Chain A
Amino acid sequence: MRPSRLTPRRLARVLLLLSGCLLMSMALALAMGSVRVPFGTILQALSGRGAPPEASIILLQVRLPRILLAALTGAALASAGAAFQAVLRNPLADPYILGISGGAALGAILSTLTGTDSTFGSILARPLFAFAGACLTVLAILALSRSRGVTASTPMLLIGWIFNSFFLALILFLETAVDFSRVRGAIFWLVGTLSPTPYSVLTGLAAAVGAGFTILWLLSRDFDLICAGEETARHMGCNVERTRVLAILAASLITAAVVSFSGLIGFVGLIVPHAARFLFGPDHRLLLPASALLGSAGLVLADALSRTLLAPTEVPVGVLTVLVGGPAFILLYRRHRWEISHD
């Protein structure tokens, strides 16, 4: 049985434990690959002393940047999912189902197809277009699902899901129309693939994800109150409208940032917050960082598997998150089902 309330001590203990898990999964992922690298060499390479040059290149130029991208992507999607589930008061919400990831991907693809990617600010154009795509999608969904000043979450999910399907079809259509040989490349966007990314991009990505996450975490107590009902949250002194707008913007920002470099990785945003809730309880002050760390470690491991399972062929990581995450979630769900459906 979990403790009856969250204390600073428990918060610190759980986050420390999960950080340890993340570090271990990263170390494991560094060691895994077509070339086996012993842990001793990994430590040497990371500290910059005495590792053989070819091992250093494999570890620091190929594997580490990809692992960091996986870690950032997992953290961003999982915390965005936890935030959406709270502010929309719906356990089914996540950036993928709401069509926000799809909108971001469409924005990113348009920046590539129109050539802005290479002419203007190059590396910044794609995430900016993705953020614009995500924000426009959110605005459209909000406008369509709002009636008489109230946002109902069921129409919102329905409209989001239609948007998502529409965007996926549009992405395939555009890629096919431009050049049929690119259809294979479209898979990158549709299921999500991680690839080595320059450190300069990773730094920018980390800054965006860090900023968005900080905003979400600062709002985490308001999320708890909103779970009790919007009007009730207001009665307890929460500014529901401001919380919701800030949360949706921050969650869209981090979603767009990671989608523009890793494509549409579904499932993480939906399932990781539920798993974290089963394990550590629903208090968002713990749930948000716990989801981020859990999503991070999970995606790092999934990516390591995607590189090694059918080596030298790579399985897209988005395929593995669903293949492994699905059954794992069902196992957890069987033990906690009353927590989701309790009527």
Chain B
Amino acid sequence: MTEALSARHIHFGYETRLLLENFSLELGEGDFACVLGPNGAGKTTVLRLLSGTLSPQEGSVQLFGESLGALPARKRAQLLAVVPQESWMLFPFTVMEVVLMGRFPHLGILGMESRDDEDLAFACLEEVGMRSSFHRALISLSSGERQRVLIARALAQEPKILLLDEPTTFLDLKHRLLIYEILSRLNARRKLTILTISHDLNLAARYCGKVWLLKEGGLLASGTPKEVLTPELLRQAYETDVEVGQDPRTGTPFIIPYPSQDAGGAS
């Protein structure tokens, strides 16, 4: 399998705190993977390092064998798209206008989009089931719908890799499933390499082939959901007692949390 995106021996920290120490991660082409971990473990930092927003103090991040920091911004945006957690938008841009912004790395100065670009944008909206809303203002949509439009915008960049920052945090049950269904289909049909940052252990367990579990200072474990999402490791990462069962339909693990016995909580 070809390596799509990798981080090697990364050290990263702010003035007072070392966030990641000797952290490595390899994302193969066609992977659907997830980075899990408690608040403050450095999940968002990992995403920012992998997307080129932050540069590591030591170590390197490589995108298809090239150093991420050395790639021009437009070239990088043609290979790697990021779906942000925040879907707020200044001024009432329409859904179509928002998705066409994804064409930016492919167009020149002023970047007037052609008919082909518009067709591509419609196809991307079709993928996320938002085609019929193309004329509506983004800010008039629900947060689940907005999240789908932002995925369409990322697809309009025609990237090889999609990074998503907690794509389901603000969403209801239906939309949480829907987002992962969409991603799973994109991964299967378009061979899109996908990495999400998430708090949702159960969705990650069901949909992702590979997970990384972070704890302060770096990586606690990595592997398939079955290997990583065990009561021992989860207790270490989240300081919470969990019961791990098996999803009767898919055979994947599912996790039920309980208040920790020795955490000295509400007892």
Contact = CB atoms under 8 A, between A and B. Distances in A.
Interface of A: 1-2, 4-8, 11, 86, 89, 91, 217-218, 220-221, 224-225, 227-229, 231-232, 234-239, 277, 281-283, 285, 338-339, 342
A225 B135 contact: no
Nearest to A2: B94
A223 to B, nearest CB: 10
A329 B107 CA distance: 36
16 contacts: A2-B94, A4-B134, A5-B100, A11-B112, A89-B90, A221-B110, A228-B89, A229-B84, A229-B86, A231-B84, A235-B81, A235-B84, A277-B91, A285-B112, A342-B92, A342-B140
A234 B84 CA distance: 11
Contact of A339 (B92, B105, B109, B134): B92
B102 interface: yes
Contact of B135 (A1, A218, A283, A339): A1
A222 to B, nearest CB: 8
B115 to A, nearest CB: 9
A342 B84 CA distance: 20
A336 to B, nearest CB: 8
Contacts of B95: 4
A91 B53 CA distance: 26
Interface of B: 51-53, 73-74, 76-78, 80-82, 84, 86, 88-98, 100-102, 104-105, 107, 109-113, 118, 134-135, 137, 139-140, 157
Contact of B93 (A227, A232, A236): A227
B101 A236 contact: yes
Given A221-B110, A235-B82, A4 B104 contact: no
Nearest to B80: A235
Contacts of B102: 236
Contacts of A237: 73-74, 76-78, 104-105
B109 to A, nearest CB: 6
B92 A224 contact: no
For the complex of A and B, the 3 pairs showing the least CB-CB separation, nearest first, are: A237-B77, A237-B105, A282-B91
Given A4-B97, A4-B135, A227-B91, A236 B110 contact: no
A283 B98 contact: no
A339 B91 contact: yes
Contacts of B107: 221
Contacts of A239: 73
B118 to A, nearest CB: 7
Contacts of A4: 94-97, 134-135
A235 B90 contact: no
Contacts of A342: 92, 139-140
Contacts of B88: 229
B84 A5 contact: no
Contacts of B52: 234
A68 to B, nearest CB: 28
Nearest to A224: B101
Nearest to A339: B92
B53 A234 contact: yes
A211 B8 CA distance: 47
Contacts of A235: 51, 53, 77, 80-82, 84
Contacts of B97: 4-6, 224, 281-283
Contacts of A238: 73, 104
Contact of A236 (B77, B96, B113): B77
Contacts of A2: 94
A231 B91 contact: no
Contact of B110 (A1, A86, A218): A218
B165 to A, nearest CB: 10
A285 B97 CA distance: 12
A232 B139 contact: no
Contacts of A217: 110
Contacts of A339: 91-92, 137, 139
A282 B101 CA distance: 13
